[in-house]
Chain A
Amino acid sequence: MSVLTQHLPQLLDGLLSTCLLMVLSFAGSLAIGVLVAAARVSPVRSLRAAATGYVELFQNIPLLVWLLLFVFALPEVGVIFPLFTTAVIVLALYEAAYMAEAIRSGINSVGRGQAEAARSLGLTTPQTLRHVVLPQALRSVVQPIGNVLIALTMNTSLAAAVGVVELTHAANEVNLAEAQPIPVFVGAGLAYMAVTLTIGLTTGLIERKVAIVR
């Protein structure tokens, strides 16, 4: 146990880094996810195709491949960002594919009549989406989005593989220095569980707040 208290600052830094990664890439993935989902249900065929391609691309290629590609390979063609920023970008792009699918399932769950009513009032497709369908869709997908966020939190650990010092990386460093794996890794595991549990509870709360009672 003393290992944990001794290295607490280092581990807390790691936890903070994990949370920062999570929050930033969550915001990014939500924004991209909404756009991609909207494109996937749009009447313009090439937009639909592009969005489908995006989802297929990011859902079928492992996150680690994307991370290595962005961190080590793309600098060779001049696409280069600070390491942490790269991790955020890759995580956001990757999770956006899952976010888009979650939101699309929400869009499909909105009653047909809603869109029909909106159209018969003379709203255009973008207006229908923005004012009528998306607000209802987003309310109904709080739980699925929470699940994507939990997966995202666990995926932030992969940033350790390319050298971002987040919780998993910090835990491993402490273990290498102190050779006391059990307390260190159990501690890190508990921290992850605390984060995901918080997300689970929060999404539960939000869901109850925004749910549409029919």
Chain B
Amino acid sequence: MSQHESTVLFDAPGPRAQRRQRILSVAVGIAGLALLAVAVHRFAERGQLDSAKWEPFTAWGTWRFLLNGAWYSLLAAAGAAAIAGPLGLLLAVGRLSPRRAVRWAAGAYVEIMRTVPVLLLIYITLFALPQYGVNLSLYWKLVAPLALSTAASTAEIFRAGLLSLDRGQREAGLSLGLTNGRTMRLILLPQALRRVIPSLVSQSVGLIKDTSLGYIVSYYELLFSAQVYATYSHLLIQTFLVVAAVYLVVNGSLSKLGRELQRRDPSARPRLRRAPVPPALTDPATVAPPRPPVDSLQGDER
């Protein structure tokens, strides 16, 4: 995700290419400006740029209402993350468990939750559960489905982290006489967790975006607050644009943080650190003898 990876396709440009690129650059800029001009004209024509329509957004009262919504969005995201994180970890460990029943159950949960829309789960908490006497609070009507669904994708992130570890780590743990569980807890998890932090940060962006579903359960998060405010003030476009900007700032900084962590993470580039395998070892003739230990290990993995 670094900034310099795109140089595969072209060299440092020569004088003619430079000229061409400058012309293209200017053309793109003009096209962008033209688009902006059309949009501004459209807005102005319909009176959407009148100062009266934007003035409420300079008042602290409006911002307090919207930022309150943003705070509730973050609360919902935090609640969902607090459940989805540990649950996802359990599911990921479960999917790699030596016991088939555990593996199967965790796998089924993840596969089902990854293919059912969150909105359907929300409709269940909204319309189905009350009929069976389970009437959750608005907060939980939003957070419970989010947590259950996010747990599945978090589990996949953790699992990818665990699988990305060198095989030898687990083998070394087992050969030291640690049990499967202790190998997981003492050796594999600490490394895997560190490795998946960037992905988790990126995923939290998705979670915050999903809290906008609070709009459907009438939970006062950012989007629902915006809707309420827009209905009250009749400033539809302005409110939604402002709210979109708030989302952009919050999630944009989180995405940037995720990318930054990814870039700095030394374990994300294992190929640079791992000693290359000497070519002699990959020769078929020499590979044959060390086979037996691998077989016995598979028996252990069962």
Contact = CB atoms under 8 A, between A and B. Distances in A.
Most chain-A Cβ atoms within 10 A of its Cβ — which of B21, B42, B210?
A: B21
Interface residues of B, number: 55
B65 interface: no
Given A40-B6, A46-B25, A65 B212 contact: yes
A154 interface: yes
Contacts of A107: 8-9
Q: Interface range on chain A: under 10, 10 to 19, 20 to 34, or 35 or more?
A: 35 or more
A84 B139 CA distance: 31
Contacts, number: 166
Interface string A86-114: 00000000000000000000011010100
A1 interface: no
B120 A185 contact: yes
A41 B9 CA distance: 7
A48 B6 contact: yes
B46 A78 contact: yes
Contacts of B252: 56, 60
A168 B120 contact: yes
A129 interface: yes
Interface in B112-160: 112, 114-120, 123-124, 127-129, 131
B5 interface: yes
A212 interface: no
25 contacts: A40-B6, A42-B9, A43-B17, A46-B32, A59-B251, A60-B205, A60-B255, A64-B215, A68-B223, A69-B240, A77-B43, A78-B46, A79-B42, A110-B8, A115-B8, A125-B10, A154-B115, A155-B117, A157-B117, A160-B119, A168-B120, A171-B120, A189-B116, A192-B115, A193-B112
Top 6 A-B pairs ranked by shortest CB distance?
A: A181-B128, A60-B251, A157-B117, A62-B212, A62-B209, A196-B115
Interface of B: 5-6, 8-11, 13, 17, 21, 24-26, 28-29, 32, 42-43, 45-46, 48, 112, 114-120, 123-124, 127-129, 131, 205, 209-210, 212-213, 215-216, 223, 227, 230, 236-237, 240-241, 243-244, 247-248, 251-252, 255
